Copies of this chain bind each other. A is one copy, B any other.
Amino acid sequence: MPEWTQPFVDSMKDVEFSTDEEMMKVAVDLSRNNVVEGTGGPFGSVVFETDKETGKSKIFAVGANRVTTLNNSTLHGETVAIQFAQKKLQSFALKDRSGKKEYSLFTSCEPCAMCLGATFWSGVSRIVCAATKADAEAIGFDEGPVFPESYVALEKAGIRVCREVLQEEAASVLKLYAETGVIYNGQD
């Protein structure tokens, strides 16, 4: 992750989040910073750890898109956040064996085909999305083979899905990026 992320995360390390909107704001701020700092595509993600008893959540790991800056098409916001979270938990599945905590993935845009699959394997209990597939596609990004049935499969696997939280704010970051950034697709 780029240098600016550490102070960004440190400034919120003791913050307890209560609502989806508060949590999504962190993901959208990450996406905007990534554009402004020129460190990757307009996508940010956060894994939150939630205390199931109190319902309060803390930032557990963050990710931002690093495709163009690290020459690696697998480093989307979601996959980066998932990898850091699993490294921190020292587990390939984001599950708390005591059952007291759960992990959620907040992402500034609905996942592409790869990241929807990555969510499936990550062990998160929930995925919350801001901007839509249509918002990403409107500025030229392709999201790949994501179908309504893909979301049904997530729900069937026990992953709760919530969409369009702070959608307008996240879509405005995509538009900001469209003015200056590189729109990449694997086949270009």
Contacts and interface: CB of A to CB of B under 8 A. Distances in A.
B113 A91 contact: no
B79 A92 contact: no
Number of copies: 2
Interface stretch (A13-21, A42-50, A81-89): A81-89
A77 interface: no
Contacts of A150: 113, 145
Contacts of A89: 71
B114 A186 contact: no
B115 A144 contact: no
A72 B86 CA distance: 6
Interface of A: 67-68, 70-74, 79, 82-83, 86-87, 89-93, 95, 112-118, 120-124, 142, 144-145, 147, 149-150, 152-154, 157-159, 184-188
Given A72-B87, A145-B149, A145-B152, 16 more contacts: A67-B92, A71-B86, A71-B90, A71-B92, A72-B83, A73-B123, A74-B83, A92-B184, A112-B121, A113-B117, A113-B153, A114-B115, A114-B120, A117-B117, A124-B186, A145-B147
